[in-house]
Amino acid sequence: MHEQESAPDAARQATSLIFGFAFSQMLGTAVRLGLPDLIGETSKTVADLAAETGTDHDSLRRLMRALAQLGVVTTTGDDSVELTPLGRLFRGDAEFSLHPMAALYGDPAWWRAWGSLEASIRTGAPGFDIAFGSGFFDHLDTDPALAGRFHRAMSTLSRIQIPDAVRGISFSPGERLVDVGGGDGTLLAAILAAEPSLHGTVFDTEGALSHAEEMLRTAGVADRADAEAGDFFESVPAGRDVYLLKNILHDWDDESCVRILRNCRTAVAPTGRILVVTALVPDWDRARGDANLMTAFGDMEMLVMTTGRERTIGEYERLFEQADLRLGETTTLSTELDSHLVTALPR
């Protein structure tokens, strides 16, 4: 009887997994239409929202009813809706806004790439390459809208991870830091604000750096920081004490990672270090009990979107060895986010 009684519960759990794509698309649609920002702190009628967004009233009402079941809005008897505390996270002005993440994961290009997951499993090629005929990062150069969504989403992810990174990474007074692939400078700005004696450079492509100088000025650290454009496959700014790679190496295959690490190894001061902030997947025999769900998802996303992967600590150690580095200390920054600080030292 026990197995029979548990079968409906298992089926309900399985159904929620199957329908996950629809939940993501509903949120992405709501964000692209600007609904959380239009509702704001007030109550809005669906009729007003339909008029402001140029959408069909009945269809929008049905979407709102579905979002209420997800806990994003509450509905009232007069055809009005209000944001819940969860729903407020999807406003663009929320402190830890998930608006950029919802916009990215609901983007048609993202869905098209994930639609090629089976082809990725069969061939080993990235789903994005299969769907679009070019690599993800090359494609961003030709699609400014997607590039904007991607960089904003990565900035959001940085803001979520920043408190743990700032608390967990130790620096010596006066050290010079390069945030390699640091995007708009969100992480570097937070580190410099917390460490008044440090000086830093955010290093990335010209497009990724478009808002970096503004970010550094807003954080009040522009007198100790600069932004430098370049290609980390060619070189990185030389002579600094610390090279930080947060969520960078998982985007690339092993050969590319070794090139990036070798460039950091060439550039780093003799007594310096390279800090890799990353998720870590467990060894295969520990995969069920110790794996973080978001890390498992992230590994699949790397398969679909890039040539990269999430790695074990042993796989990172092998990359370091090929780049004339050795594995130093590894510490956990956040168990919940499965974020770790892996140190590489010159050999």
User: Given a cut of 80, is residue 111 above it in pLDDT?
Assistant: yes
- pLDDT tens for 228-261 read 999 999 999 999 999 999 999 999 999 999 999 9
Question: DSSP letters of 196-233?
Answer: TT-EEEEEE-TTTTTTHHHHHHHTT-GGGEEEEE--TT
Confidence of residue 11 (pLDDT cuts 50, 70, 90): confident
Q: Rounded mean pLDDT of 9-15? A: 85
pLDDT of residue 215: 94
pLDDT of residue 282: 85
Q: Rounded mean pLDDT of 214-229? A: 97
Q: Which residues does residue 280 pair with via DSSP β-bridges, in sequence order?
A: 311
- pLDDT tens for 267-289 read 999 999 999 999 999 887 665 55
> Domain 2-96, CATH 1.10.10.10 — does that match?
yes
User: Given a cut of 70, is residue 291 above it in pLDDT?
Assistant: no
Task: Provide CATH code, domain 162-346.
Answer: 3.40.50.150
- Dihedrals phi, psi of 220, to nearest 5 degrees: 75, 25
- Of 41-45, 60-64, 153-157, which gets the smallest average pLDDT? 153-157
pLDDT of residue 1: 42
Give the residue range(s) of CATH 3.40.50.150 domains in the chain. 162-346
- Of 5-14, 139-148, 308-317, 338-347, which gets the smallest average pLDDT? 5-14
User: Given a cut of 60, is residue 290 above it in pLDDT?
Assistant: no
Q: Rounded mean pLDDT of 29-43? A: 96
Q: Is 152 helix (H, G, I), strand (E, B) or coil?
A: helix
Residues with a catalytic annotation lie at 250
Give the residue range(s) of CATH 1.10.10.10 domains in the chain. 2-96
Sheet with 199-204, edge to edge strand ranges? 225-229, 199-204, 176-180, 242-246, 273-278, 339-346, 325-334
User: Given a cut of 70, is residue 2 above it in pLDDT?
Assistant: no
User: Given a cut of 50, is residue 213 above it in pLDDT?
Assistant: yes
